[in-house]
Amino acid sequence: MSVMSNILSRPKIIVSTNAEAAAQEVARRFEVAISVRPDIVLGLATGNSPKSVYDRLMAAYNNGKLSFARVTSFNLDEYCGLPNGHPSSFSTYMREKLFSKVDIEPGNYHLPDGGAPNLEAVAKAYEAAISASGGIDLQLLGIGRNGHIAFNEPGSSPMSRTRAVELSAITVEANRADFPAGETPPRHAITMGIGTILEAREIVLLATGAAKAAALDAAINGPVCDACPASFLQLHPNVTIVCDNAAYGAAPSAVPTRL
The catalytic residue positions are 77, 146, 148, 153
Q: How far apart are CA 16 and CA 247, in angstroms?
A: 10
Q: How many Å separate Cα 153 from the centre of its chain? A: 14
The strand ranges marked E within 142-226 are 163-166, 188-191, 202-207
Distances (CA, A) of 68 to 22, 88, 110, 185, 239: 22, 24, 14, 32, 23
- In 3D, which of 192, 230, 235 has the Cα closest to residue 44? 192
- Rg of the Cα atoms in the chain: 17
First to last CA, the chain: 34
C-alpha to C-alpha distance for 108 and 185, rounded to whole angstroms? 28
CB atoms within 10 A of CB 75: 23
What CA–CA distance (Å, rounded) separates 97 from 95?
6
Cα of 24 vs its chain's centroid, Å: 16
Q: Are 68 and 99 spatial neighbours (Cβ–Cβ below 8 Å)?
A: no
What 3-state DSSP class applies to 106? Answer: helix
Decide if 85 contacts 59 (C-beta within 8 A). no
